Amino acid sequence: MEAEVIQIIRETYDTQFPRFSDTSAKRARKTLLNTVCFPIIRGMLSLACFPKSPAIFREEMMKTVHAFEETVGRFIDVMNSRGDSLRLLDVLCVPFPVLPLYVEHKPYLNLAISAQKKLVAFLRKNHVDETLVTHLFAETRGNLAREMQKRLRRVGKTALKLAPPPCLCASGAMEKSTEECDANGAKDLTTEEYTEIGDCASGATTWTEAQSQAVDAWLNSVLNSRGEDADAFREAWGVFMADFGCRGSSEIDIAAPRWEETPAEILRLALRLAGTQEITDEEVEKRQNAALAQICANMSQRKKRKVETLFQKAQLFWEFREHHKHYYIQILTVFRKAFQLAGKRMKAAGIIDSVSDVFFLELEDVLWWEEGRTDGADFRGTIADNKKKESDKFPRVVVGPECEFCWLSRKTRQMMETMPAGMLRGVAASGGVAEGRAVVAEDPAGVELREGEVLVAKATDPGWTPLFGLASAVAVEIGGPLSHGSVVAKENGIPCVVSVTGLMEKVRTGMRVRVDGDRGVVEILSE
């Protein structure tokens, strides 16, 4: 198998890629339709025409999840077996049936989303209280986002018993940490350490070399020590990193660091979450069942069965929505590991200046160098050119007057244009009303968010998820009802408003704001 892959790669890159013509574009479109779009549509039609019970529906979705898990397992096995000798070609040779897995999983996920939309429309048609509808989907149980927060909270609680470095204990977690440290006989803090805490609490978003070294030294010490508290932390840390260490900010970018590479960042979030209350799946289920019983109280048996069936199928969307993304990130992290090892060998050979420079090379550059087909003498020039191209790129999102309200209704646009000063209109994404101190963030790394504060962001991705466990509400400038911020806010049962034009310009950290997730309004209460 490996020899065949090598031959294919060599032939591909020896002949280079043909010019992308109209003919090749048509072929690509036809291939995409036949291999992805049409199979997904056929799968959805089949499920719609021959509906399955929620139990069978869930069983079929679990089959696709297990298939993803098996694929990830093959990549991890190769990585673990090769160790530091891992090559990029080793990873490329692992069978990865991405399209079949996606085509099988997507129809079920789409039908689950459709079930939720049908349920909400049916309840509104039957004049069910909107508050009950909101409670039905708030704090959804059993998905990866909630599991991530649960495990991270446990990491924080066990870390507090071990006197963590002061730079990790800034802001909201400081008081509790100090109490725990005192109870465990920790030393008094020095003036320098208090100064360091003050710097973190005042909103510093970057780590000094000394702070990073202090965190790394503390973590290594704890992981190699003995004792009941150390054992508890080591177990919690290992369990979290095993499944979620591959995640991080901008995680789709293979060059972006993972949480397992930035322990200071994730430990600080863990300490903040440690002081928050954990809502168990049992409590969530009890609340949802109570709301469901209240909704169905005055309905006929036929309507009641319809509501229960749609709700059970809709639940599957919230439970499985992140699985395929999570497994993809795990595989991408294995590729990142292979690139990093290649970068280390290149740096040792003196052909690149830093390990991270390997991400500015082309795929064939790395493959050819590992095969001995190039000496890498021109790599520095390639890296410099690609770094310049990277710096010259347009921003990922372009916002201007011509596209601000393009997808909003005329009525909504008129309301936004006539909003009073200090009030911003957006799209309601997660119900409820909350107010608090605003914390404006461009990036999740280093955000000093304390429990009960309002998170304000341009846009969010899965790397922001742990922060939602601290926020009392979320406001996002870019996004829709099914964007990351909207969905995770619903899972955490907190208000959320998205697509708020001018949010990042008009709201500043320290302002007191109110987020109305029912009306889709963000109000600035005080400067």
Q: Tell me the helices (H) and strands (E) count for the chain, helix number first.
A: 22, 8
The pair of structure tokens assigned to 34 is 């036949």
Q: What is the pLDDT of residue 179?
A: 41
Percent over 90 (pLDDT), the chain:
25
- Asked whether residue 172 carries a pLDDT value surpassing 60, the answer given is no
> pLDDT tens, 261-300?
888 888 888 888 887 877 777 888 888 888 888 899 889 9
> pLDDT tens, 144-162?
888 888 899 999 999 988 8
Write the CA distances from 201 to 24, 182, 223, 454, integer angstroms.
56, 21, 27, 16
Q: What is the pLDDT of residue 419?
A: 62
Q: How far apart are CA 432 and CA 515, in angstroms?
A: 8
Q: Are 126 and 303 in contact (CB under 8 A)?
A: yes
The pair of structure tokens assigned to 199 is 């710097």
> pLDDT tens, 212-262?
778 888 888 888 888 899 999 999 999 999 989 998 888 888 998 998 988
Q: Are 361 and 379 in contact (CB under 8 A)?
A: yes
Domain parsing of the chain, residue ranges: 146-251+258-274, 410-526
Q: Are 99 and 36 in contact (CB under 8 A)?
A: yes
Q: What is the pLDDT of residue 27?
A: 76
- Concatenated DSSP letters of 436-463: EEEEEESSSTT----TTPEEEES---GG
- Mean pLDDT computed over 499-522: 89
- Concatenated DSSP letters of 338-384: HHHHHHHHHHHTTSSSSGGGGGGS-HHHHHHHHHTS---TTHHHHHH
Residues with Cβ within 8 Å of 63's Cβ and at least 6 positions away in sequence, in order, are 104
Please state which architecture CATH assigns to domain 410-526.
3-Layer(bba) Sandwich (3.50)
The pTM (predicted TM-score) of the whole model is: 0.74
Q: Which of 146-160, 174-188, 338-352 has the lowest mean pLDDT?
A: 174-188
423-425 and 512-516 strand pairing: unpaired
Percent over 70 (pLDDT), the chain:
80
